[in-house]
Amino acid sequence: MPWQVSGYQFDMDSGNGYTGQLYEGQGRSIVAGPGEMVQLFASGLRFVIGRVAEPASQFVKPLGEWNQIEIIARGNTLIHMMNGHVMSVTIDDDPARRALQGIISLQLEAGGQIWYRNVWLKHL
């Protein structure tokens, strides 16, 4: 499929059960759940090394309001933030599966509507 997107993604869902997690499409699936700090190792070992928010969903604005999302990708570390709060942290120490570069895609997986505005990229 020419439009198949894979790799790391910041997830959002209307029920906020997954909002803020790191998901890897066409790969390891859920990598870091909302509120988790995770380290990934070779051979697929995943270790939760801490918690960053309890519950992460408390930082999501109500339906119809704008949320501010920040994704920090520096080396093999990914930090997902929403409205100024850390939602999940992933340290990907699996050299065979991690991605240190790739494309950026904005999408909505299942039905409904999503709007984006003021999208900025900043090289760190």
Q: Tell me the pLDDT band of 102, cut-offs 50, 70 and 90.
A: confident
Contact predicate 22/1, CB 8 Å: no
Question: Which tokens is 84 given?
Answer: 């100024």
Q: pLDDT value at position 112?
A: 74
Q: Tell me the pLDDT band of 110, cut-offs 50, 70 and 90.
A: low
- Please give the average per-residue pLDDT across 20-36, as a whole number: 92
How far apart are the C-alpha atoms of 109 and 43, rounded to whole Å?
29
**Of residues 4 and 88, more confidently modeled:** 88
Q: pLDDT (tens digit, 9 = 90+) per residue, 38-77?
A: 999 998 899 999 999 788 889 999 888 999 999 999 999 9
